[in-house]
Chain A
Amino acid sequence: MGSIRIKGLGKAYRQYPTHWSRLAEWVLPWGRPRHQLRWVLKDINIQVYPGEALGIVGVNGAGKSTLLKMITGTTQPSTGTIEIEGRVAALLELGMGFHPEFTGRQNVFMAGQLLGLSIEELHQLMPDIESFAEIGEYMDQPVRTYSSGMQMRLAFSVATARRPDILIVDEALSVGDAYFQHKSFGRIRDFRRSGTTLLIVSHDRQAIQTICDRAVLLNHGQLALEGAPEEVMDFFSAMIAEREQNTIRQERLADNRIRTISGTGEASIAGVALLNEEGKPVDVIETGAPITLQVTVDINRDIERLVLGFMIKDRMGQAIYGINTHRINRPLENLRAGEQVVYRYSFNADIGKGNYSVALSLSRLDSHLDKNYEWRDFALVFHVINTRKPDFVGCASLDATLEIKHHQHIAEGVATDALSD
C-alpha cells in the first residue's frame, strides 16, 4: 500500500535541428536517428516506503516537476521504471479541468471523474466536498463568478475528497487564505496519520522539515543528496548561495547531526560562544537568563560590507529567532584583510526548555543569497532548562500573568423576582 519504487529513471527530450529532420527520421527507411537527446533527469533511484513522507527539493529546472509528472503518469520516462502501489492523487494543477461556464457542482463531477473517481463515489462524497470547500451557495454558481481562492478551495476539496494511498503535493500549498491553508494542511496531516504516503515538492523549509521524514535534493537532473530533511535543507540553502565558485562541506557532529559550512571565505567565523552574566562560556542556560552570543570573525580579504546574522533553531530545525546586523542598521563597511571583529549579541533566553542550535551567516546584504562569505549551521548547540519559572509548554516564554475575579452568580428566576418587587 502506498509505495513508490523508482529505478534508474531518466527523461530526455528529443531535439531536432529542423522540423524536416524529424520528418526524415520518421519516413526514410534507411533512417538514422537525427535528433539529439537533452537529458533533464538521469539515473534517479528513489524508494518511498508506505506511510513515509518524502520531500523533494531543488532549484527551478532541477527536474522536480518532470519527476512528478512521470510519477503521476502524464509524461513517459525515457529510461528506468516507476513502480507504484496504491491510488495516487496529485495536488499539482489544482483546478485543471474546471470549466468557467459551469457550476461548482457540475465541475466537481467533471474534475472528479478526470481524477478517476466514479459518479457514484462522487455522489457519496459530494456533501463532504461541499462542506470542506466552504463556498456556500456558490456551489451552484458558475465557476467564473468565483474568486481564485474559492476556486482553489473547491479544487483542493475534490482532489482530496477520498484519502489516496499516495498524495503528491507540489510547491506552494497556498490554497486560498490563511484559514484554508491551515485547513488544507490539516487534511494532509490527517491523511498522513491514516497511512497515506506523501511526496512533497517545496522550497519552503518549514513545510519540508515539519512534515517530511526524509528529503532528496535534485540538482541538474540528478540526485544530489538524500537524507534527513534538515540536512538536505541546510545543504540546499548553502547550495543556492554557492552557485559561484565556492565550496560546501558537511561535517558529522558528535551527536550524528550534520553541520553544513559554505561560503566564499572572504570572511570566516573564528570562534563562537554563548556567555553567561559573568562572561563565562556555557552550554546550559536557564529560561529567561540574560546571555550573550559572542562571535569572532576573521576578515581574510578586503570587503566593502559585512553583515553578521544568527538564527536560533529548535530540535526540529524550526527557526525560533533570527536577526542580523543589516536589519538593525549596524553593518560594517570597508574592512581590511587581517582585521578581526568581535560581535556580542545580548538577549534574555526567553525560550522554553529543550535543545537548540545556532546558525551563523556572514554576508554582504540582508540575505545570504547575494554574497555569502560563510554560512554555518550548528555553529553552536545549547540546552535550555527551566527550574525557576513554572513548567510551561512550547518554545516562547511569554510569562503570562493571571487575574481571577470571583462574582456571585445570580440565577435568572431570582433576578426577575427581585425586579418585580
Chain B
Amino acid sequence: MSTAMLQSLWHYRGFVLGSVQREFQTRYRNSLLGALWTVINPLAMIIVYTVIFSRLMQARLPGVDNDLAYGIYLCAGLLTWGLFAEIIARGQSVFLEHATLLKKLSFPRICLPLVVVLNALLNFGIIFGLFIGFLLVTGNFPGWVVLAMLPVLLIQVLFAVGLGIILGVLNVFFRDVGQMTGIVLQFWFWFTPIIYPPSILPESAAGLLKWNPMVPLVQAYQGIFVKGVWPQWHTLWPMVLISVLLCLLALALFRKRAGEMVDEL
C-alpha cells in the first residue's frame, strides 16, 4: 500500500471506525436484549458443537483422549473458517452494496473493504473470546502456545482480504462472481478438514488436500487448541507468499479498475 493510501485511510479513520460501530449496532437495534445477542448466538454454537457432539454423540478424535477434544477441534476450525468466509462473502459484495455512496460521494474507496475486515474481526473477537473463556473454564486452555495463532491469523486475514477485494472488484463487472463465491465457499469448506479429521479421507482425496491453501492454516489452529503444539511454520510459508501476492494483485486490480467501477455501478 502506498503511503498516500495509508494517509487517506488515517484521515478517514473516524468514518471507518464509525461505520464499524454503526454496522455492529444496527444489527441489534430495536431488540430487547441488544448486544447480548452477540454473545448468545456464538455461545449457543459453541455449546452445540462441544457438548452435544462430544458428549451426547460420543464423537471422538482418533488419538486424543479427551471428551471435549472433538468439540474443541470443531471450534478451532469452524470459528476461524467463519472469519475467513465472512471477509470473503462481505468483501465480494462490498462495492455493490455501497453503490450509491461510491457514485455520489468522493472518499477513499479502500475504506469500504477495511470496514468489512474490521467488522469481521470484531465479530470473530467476541466469539473467539467466548471460546477461550470456555477453554479456561473446562481446563483445556493450551497455555502460551495460544500466541502462535496470532501470526497464523494475520496470514489468514491477508489471504481473505486479498481474495475478497479481487472478488469484490470482479463482482461489479461480472455479477456471476457473487453467485459463484457462495458455491465455491461451500465446496471449499467441505474440502477442508474442519468437521472431520483428515485421516478419514481416502488416499486419493487426501493427496488433493495439499493443494488447498486453507489446510495448513486450519491444521495450525487445530494443533494449537487440541494438542497444544506449535504450528509447523514451514507448512505456512507458501501461504504467506500466496497471501502477499494476492494482496498485491488485489491492490493493482483495485487501482486499475476503481474508476471504471463507478461507471459500472
Contact = CB atoms under 8 A, between A and B. Distances in A.
Interface of A: 13-14, 19, 22-23, 69, 72-76, 92-93, 96-97, 99, 101-102, 106, 109-110, 113-116, 118-119
B103 interface: yes
A96 B101 contact: yes
B15 A114 contact: yes
26 contacts: A13-B263, A14-B263, A22-B173, A72-B106, A73-B106, A74-B102, A74-B104, A74-B262, A76-B258, A76-B259, A76-B262, A92-B104, A93-B104, A96-B105, A97-B101, A99-B22, A99-B26, A101-B25, A101-B30, A102-B25, A109-B14, A110-B22, A114-B15, A114-B105, A116-B107, A118-B11
A119 B14 contact: yes
B29 interface: yes
A106 B29 CA distance: 14
Q: Taking chain B's interface residues, is the majority helix, strand, or loop, or is none over half, making it mixed?
A: helix
B182 interface: no
Given A110-B18, A116-B107, 7 more contacts: A73-B106, A74-B102, A76-B262, A93-B104, A110-B19, A113-B15, A119-B14
B100 interface: yes
A19 to B, nearest CB: 7
Interface string B18-43: 11001001100110000000000000
Contacts of A74: 102-106, 262
Contacts of B101: 96-97, 114
Contacts of B26: 99, 101
A118 B14 contact: yes
B97 interface: no
A113 B12 contact: yes
Contacts of B259: 75-76
A76 B265 CA distance: 13
B174 interface: yes
B166 to A, nearest CB: 13
A96 B100 contact: yes
Contacts of A110: 15, 18-19, 22
Nearest to B259: A76
Contacts of B14: 109, 113, 118-119
Contacts of A19: 174
Contacts of A116: 11, 107
B107 A114 contact: yes
A110 B263 CA distance: 25
A113 B18 contact: yes
A119 B30 CA distance: 27
A74 B18 CA distance: 21
Contacts of B100: 96
Nearest to B263: A13
B15 to A, nearest CB: 4
Nearest to A23: B174
A99 B262 CA distance: 22
A76 B109 CA distance: 13
Nearest to A66: B263
Contacts of A99: 22, 26
A222 B112 CA distance: 35
A14 B106 CA distance: 21
A46 B61 CA distance: 73
Contacts of B260: 14
Given A96-B100, A119-B14, A75 B262 contact: yes
Nearest to A112: B14
Interface in B208-265: 258-260, 262-263
Contacts of B15: 110, 113-114
B29 A75 contact: no
Nearest to B104: A93
A118 B26 CA distance: 23
A74 B258 CA distance: 10
A116 B30 CA distance: 30
